[in-house]
A and B are shown apart, each in its own frame.
Chain A
Amino acid sequence: MVYEVFRQERKGQPYAHAGAIAAPDQAFAEAYAREQYGRRGESVGLWVVPRQAILEVHDFVDELERNYHRVDGYSLRDKLKEARERARTAAARDR
């Protein structure tokens, strides 16, 4: 059985994927996770998860090009340029 291991480097930090181990059951998985991802003081916590328990999601359909859902659908650079332009004009007018 394959277990995915996530480790936390310091308290308060998010757990990040560290790697996978093969183990016959949970007791072996714990022992092997400790040895491979914890014995050098590189982790303060581990999540050891059977691979089958992970729900994988891959396909993100975007048939209608709804780019307003995405950050790249909104060009901050252009908006910022326009806003600065407006501010400059307004300042010149008030002078």
Chain B
Amino acid sequence: MRHLHERLLEIADDELVLGWRNSEWTGIAPFLEEDVAFSSIAQNEIGHARALYQLVARELGTTADELALDRQPGEYRCAPLVELRLVDDWAKTIARHWLYEAADWIRLAALRRGGDEDLAGLAAKIDREEAYHRMHADMWFARLRDEARFQEAVDELWPSALGVVDPELRAELAALVGRPEVPAVERDAHTDALRELWDEMTMVRRSEPAGAQW
């Protein structure tokens, strides 16, 4: 059994990296209203990452910034699903968004049942924002579900989506999205896409000596 802070770091890294990936659509989403909505969702994900990093940082005697930006790419615990750079494939982006929100819902519900009071409280807060992300994902799903491009994207991403949740939650996720349980792409290996993302994400931070005040 992993430490609680290891599980939280997985979630925080997922949220940070997915928030980062989704923010790559800012300014180039299919239409203006969606641009605003998707950017806002991306910002929420990064906000959730921040709250989780703060919780873990207290435990480990460090800071949220150090956890988010001072680790080496290999030390991140995010799942391969969130690492993929999907600009400019909107169908695949929505497929990932829909699958991730489903996985995240199940994972947050498990945390709320987990018995840790601080954590259950934070999970409930995060879930209240995620409810709007799910609403957004579901309305896009309803619109694209019959499109071949979208179905192919869901098929392709599904094993990675399963890897977002712990093995004991996978049957529940499969039932929720109505797909068979298949071998999951686990979070033990990173894609090459993470290295590139990390280079850009930490560029400004690395340009200043450690401990610089902003």
Residues of A within 8 A of B (CB): 21-25, 27-28, 30-32, 34-36, 39
Chain B interface extent, by class: 10 to 19
Chain B residues with CB under 8 Å of chain A are 31-34, 36-37, 40, 132, 135-136, 139, 142-143
Q: 4 closest Cβ contacts across the A-B interface? A: A27-B139, A32-B33, A35-B37, A35-B40
| Distance A32 CA – B40 CA, assembled complex (angstroms) | 10
CB neighbours of B135 from chain A (8 A): 27, 30-31
Q: Is the CB of A21 within 8 A of B33?
A: yes
Given A28-B139, A31-B135, A31-B139, A39 and B40 contact (CB-CB distance below 8 Å)? yes
| Contact residues of A: prevailing secondary structure | helix
Whether the pair B31, A31 counts as a contact (CB closer than 8 A) is: no
Smallest Cβ distance from A34 to chain B, in angstroms? 7
Q: Are B132 and A23 in contact (CB under 8 A)?
A: no
| Bound Cα distance A30, B135 (Å) | 10
- Tell me which of A21, A35, A36, A39 has the highest count of chain B C-beta atoms within 10 A of its own C-beta: A35
Roughly how many angstroms separate A31 CA and B37 CA in the complex, as a whole number? 8
| Nearest CB of chain A from residue B140's CB, rounded to whole Å | 9
- Shortest C-beta distance, B144 to chain A (Å), equals 11
Out of A22, A25, A34, which one reaches B32, CB within 8 Å? A22
Q: In the bound complex, what is the Cα–Cα distance between A36 and B34 (angstroms)?
A: 10
Partner of B136, one of A21, A24, A31, A36: A31
CA distance A32 to B34 in the complex (A): 7
CA gap between A45 and B142 in the complex, in Å: 26
Q: Which residue of B lies closest to A39 (CB)?
A: B40
Cα distance, A88 to B136, chains bound together (Å): 71
Residues of B within 8 A of A32 (CB): 33-34, 36-37
B contact residues around A21 at 8 Å (CB): 33
Q: Which residue of B lies closest to A29 (CB)?
A: B33
